[in-house]
Amino acid sequence: MMPRGKARKLLEFLAVVVIALGTRYVITDRYIQGIVVNALLLSVAVLGLQLIMGYAGQISFAQAGFMGMGAYASVLLTKSGLSFWLALPVAGLAAGLGGFLMSPIIRLKGVYFAMASLAFSIAIYVVFVNWGPVTNGTKGIIDIPYPKLGPVIIDSATSFMTLAIFTLWIEWKCFRNITESGFGRTLRAVRDNETAATAAGIQVNAAKMKVIFVGCFVAGIAGAMMGHYKGIVSPESYNFGESITLALMVLVGGLGSLRGAVIGAFFVTIGSEYIGAYAAQHRMLIYGIMMLLFMLFLPDGIDGLVRMVVGCFRRPAGPRQVAPTGVSR
Amino acid sequence: MLVDVLTTGISIGCVYGLVAIGYSLIFRAQGLINFAQGEMLTVGALTGYTAIVTLHIPYFFGVLLAILAGGIVAVGIETLVYAPIRRKEAVTSPRSVFATIAMMIILANGSKAIWGSDALCYPERGSIIQFGDAGIASYYFLVLGVTAVAVIFLMIILFKTKMGLAMRAFAADAVTASLIGIMGKLVSKMTAFLAGGLGAVGGVLLAQIYFASFELGGFGLKAFAAAVLGGLGSVPGAIIGGLILGVFETAVSVTISAAYKDAIVFAMLIAVLLFKPTGIFKG
Amino acid sequence: MELLSVRGLKKNFGGLAAVDNIDFGLTEGEITSLIGPNGAGKTTTINLITGFLERTSGTIQFKGTDIGGMPASKIVQLGIVRTFQISQVPHTFTVEEAVVLGAHSRLTFGLAAGLLNLSREQVRQKKAWQMAMEAIEFVGLKDKRHVICGHLPYGEKRMVELGRALATQPKVLILDEPAAGLNTAERSRLKQLIREIKASRLTILLIEHDMKMVMDLSDKIVVLNFGEKIAEGSREEIQLNPKVIEAYLGGGDV
């Protein structure tokens, strides 16, 4: 008989395989499949942003720009013949290294970092628009080859759904590990009180840079996948407004919660469909109102709301339950 | 050429200065960086347009209405959004930061919803005054004059009225001030009103120079750079920072590149934040 | 043996010398107190020693090495740890999480190890928790170890910070006004704890306004006023020093 831990892991893996391959039979409507793929791929990027904002406490308005870096990198590499599976990690790396460009501003606090990331986002956009020979400017890049896995061509909403689910699961496991590890504690200390963290011997700026690298890396991956899914890569998809939307997803889901990142991505993506149907021209206004309402009344997002409701049913008072690694949930 | 750069630069600089004063006032009083402050330009410019152009209200009263609009919107935001959050959380927390950003988005896009996306022009004012070879449009002097009046007005309020004294006391030490009975809420509202009103004045002036539209918030963000340059929290610093930024930006746009001038301004902002975060004048 | 020494230390803010040419040293295993009226430059000196402020000139030597330009986190890793006048603890952490943070100065919790949950990550976590539990028990917060720091009263936040400092297994412990805001019972407990810390052969630098505590605990006292050192010596010498008396007219609790 297999040891319990191993058995559990195997079961989990099988469950993911079943979900990844089986969702297409549960969600059969083409249109809804498209929304789900969108939401899943955005979740990949939003989880990265959650790590940066919710765990390291750095407000970033540049995440969409890094998605763009990954998208352009992957698309250009595959168009020149490289396999998608090799281009993908390179795209992530490109975005992650792009994150290092933010290292001079890393010592800026809170609002100032946010402003600088905004400036950064605009700068990236300007490069995308003006670097014609590489990015083809505002016209964008089309005729993007689909990923191939042996005989299987990933070219439909259903196949991308499968790919996205696997990717999200891997990312989730990795991020869970990070947040529950000693490094996760480092991040939260940096977020809560940089002075306390420094006084405990933590190199705050180094920790921030590492997290930004990871957050940008996954943004690059998400951007790359989206690029191949949509079949077109153009600067408009990676501008400041898109970065704000990603930040909104983090807030709506709940700042500081990995679950919240995915919840927020789905909530806003689905909401965006309704907005598109009835009031497309007021999209940003509605996002702004959403942001305001959440900051006023639900600062911990949907995840916070759920935890509060569930908490009402748990036994009250007493010391909080703490997992062996010392992380309280 | 130089004359053009100076007149345009100083006029834009005046606008930046007015908005920057607002940023500094609020920062000094509450430690908050209010991103919605930049949008006061939009509010002022567009309500001014409605008053002056649509409703044919005489210019002077139209401007007053715009100032009132800016002040009221700012007070509204302070009362309904910022004050409640301030009760629960530090002004530097993500929640506060995103609240101000949300307001910025709402004001900009709300303006777009109400006034549309076209650039709305104010009627031509004044004429060209000749100085030897050079001709300067007289409304540049109007801009300078109105700005000076606004700043003097602010100084009178800050230094010659009881409310102004209360505001300064509060900015210096909020805890002690509230201990001797100065009502924090009233002071906060007054600060917001002044910041909003000044921003609105800037908006009307800006609209006179260029046009009124929901996009004016971009100038507002650059005004934040001016406030940082002059030292966040310092009123004279804000004005000087504004003037410097205005002239610098115009000079860059004329000599280096008009397209990249915003990028250069932002690069300057980041440089200031990194190397001299207290600005040129201590706040 | 002089473990830490400060020579000609100077810090200028604009035209003002907050710390002006200060010399003193910490003898290993002893409690040295740094006293002086408010604004004398005590906390500034601490900030300079621990790397939270950059000195204008002078040397700061630890075990013979100049630590003058080092970043604060590196100085902590070397073994010089401080607490703050207003206790700095991460407000969402539980007490035990906040204390175990101290172990981060001795053990490297890397990103890769955490991400892949390598065995060495688990080994380090175990070690860290051991170090933390000792510190938590020492400061007497064992029963409260699951409480969130943000919910703790003032005095207990102090203890959490002290616990974290001890969890770093320091060689030099610098306490910045640890008694401020504590009641009498808490103060005598603090005194007892400091004595026990000294007994485990740590070197302590204490900034305090509570003169009784200073006189009871200190092996050596250094007095600052207006950024300058005006006296140094045993408690008897300091109590009789006219310059000290003059500086303190109206100040301090005796």
A214 reaches C (C-beta below 8 A) = yes
Q: Hunting for tokens 């002022």 — which residue is that? A: B44
CB contact under 8 A, C81 and A188: no
Closest listed residue to residue A301, CA positions, set A264, A328, A258, A270:
A264
Sign of the CA dihedral with C193 first, then C197, C200, and C206 last: negative
CB contact under 8 A, A200 and C128: no
A319 reaches C (C-beta below 8 A) = yes
* Test the A interface: residue of C93, C105, C175 with most A CBs within 10 Å: C93
**What is the pLDDT at residue B260?**
73
Of C96, C113, C168, the CB nearest to A326: C96
Tally C-beta pairs within 8 A across A and B: 89
Class of domain B2-275: mainly alpha
Q: Which residues in chain C have their CB less than 8 angstroms from residue A322's CB?
A: 94, 96, 146
CA distances from A283 to A289, A290, B89, B221 (A): 10, 10, 29, 22
- What's the rounded Cα separation, in Å, for the pair A283 and A303? 24
- What's the rounded Cα separation, in Å, for the pair B99 and B77? 10
Beta pairing partners, A141: A233
**What is the pLDDT at residue B255?**
84
- What's the rounded Cα separation, in Å, for the pair A228 and A292? 34
CA distance to partner chain A, nearest, from residue C16 (Å)? 25
**What is the pLDDT at residue B281?**
62
The total number of structural domains that make up chain A: 1
The residue range of the domain holding A122 is: 4-240
Tell me which chains share at least 3 CB pairs under 8 Å with chain C.
A
CB contact under 8 A, C97 and A327: yes
**What is the pLDDT at residue A322?**
40
CA distance to partner chain C, nearest, from residue A236 (Å)? 33
CB C31 within 8 A of CB C234: no
Q: Which residues in chain A have their CB less than 8 angstroms from residue B103's CB?
A: 288, 292
> Tokens standing for A276?
């598109």
C57-62, strands of its sheet edge to edge? C16-27, C2-13, C57-62, C65-66
> Tokens standing for A289?
């109102």
**What is the pLDDT at residue A111?**
85
CB A96 within 8 A of CB A220: yes
Q: Which residues in chain A have their CB less than 8 angstroms from residue C129's CB?
A: 326
- Domain boundary assignment for chain B: 2-275
Low-confidence ranges of chain B (pLDDT < 70): 131-134, 174, 180-182, 281-283
Closest listed residue to residue C98, CA positions, set C37, C51, C35, C156:
C156
CB contact under 8 A, B97 and A114: yes
Tell me which chains share at least 3 CB pairs under 8 Å with chain A.
B, C
* pTM assigned to the model: 0.89
Instruction: Write the ipTM.
Output: 0.90
Residue A285 located in a structural domain:
no
CA distances from A84 to A154, A189, A221, B148 (A): 10, 38, 11, 62
Q: Which residues in chain A have their CB less than 8 angstroms from residue C88's CB?
A: 193, 195-196, 199
In a structure prediction context, what are the per-residue pLDDT tens digits for chain A, which is 329 residues long?
667 788 888 999 999 999 999 888 888 888 999 999 999 999 999 999 999 999 988 999 999 999 999 999 999 999 998 999 999 999 999 999 999 988 888 888 888 898 889 888 888 888 898 888 888 888 899 888 899 888 888 888 899 999 999 999 999 999 999 999 999 999 999 999 999 999 999 999 999 999 999 999 999 999 999 999 999 999 999 998 999 999 999 999 999 999 999 999 999 999 999 999 998 889 999 999 999 999 999 999 999 999 999 888 765 554 444 433 433 33
Domains of chain C listed by start with CATH number = 1-79+171-254 (3.40.50.300), 85-169 (3.40.50.300)
> Tokens standing for A267?
């909530």
Tell me the residue ranges of DSSP E strands in chain A: 148-149, 152-153
CB C85 within 8 A of CB A160: no
Of C77, C102, C121, the CB nearest to A181: C121
Beta pairing partners, C27: C2
B-side interface with A, Cβ within 8 Å? 33, 81, 84-85, 89, 92, 94-95, 97-99, 101-106, 108-110, 112-113, 224, 260, 262-263, 266-267, 269-270, 273-274, 277
Q: Which residues in chain A have their CB less than 8 angstroms from residue C72's CB?
A: 198-199
> Which amino acid, one-letter code, is at A278?
Y
CA distance to partner chain C, nearest, from residue A190 (Å)? 8
CB contact under 8 A, A104 and B274: yes
Residue A283 located in a structural domain:
no
Q: Which residues contact A119 (CB under 8 A, 6 or more apart)?
A: B263, B266, B267, B269, B270
CA–centroid distance for C31 within its chain: 11
Low-confidence ranges of chain C (pLDDT < 70): 249-254
Q: Give pLDDT tens digits for B230-268.
A: 988 889 999 999 999 999 999 888 887 777 777 788 888
Both ends of chain C: CA-CA distance in Å? 31
Residue A72 located in a structural domain:
yes
Tally C-beta pairs within 8 A across A and C: 129
A199 reaches C (C-beta below 8 A) = yes
Dmax over CA atoms of chain B, in Å, equals 61
Beta pairing partners, B128: B137
CB contact under 8 A, B112 and A247: no
* Test the B interface: residue of A295, A296, A298 with most B CBs within 10 Å: A295
Q: Give pLDDT tens digits for A173-218.
A: 999 999 999 999 999 999 999 999 999 999 999 999 999 999 999 9
Alpha helices per DSSP H over chain B? 2-30, 40-49, 59-77, 83-88, 94-115, 138-160, 162-172, 174-179, 184-209, 217-230, 235-255, 261-275
- What's the rounded Cα separation, in Å, for the pair C225 and A7? 69
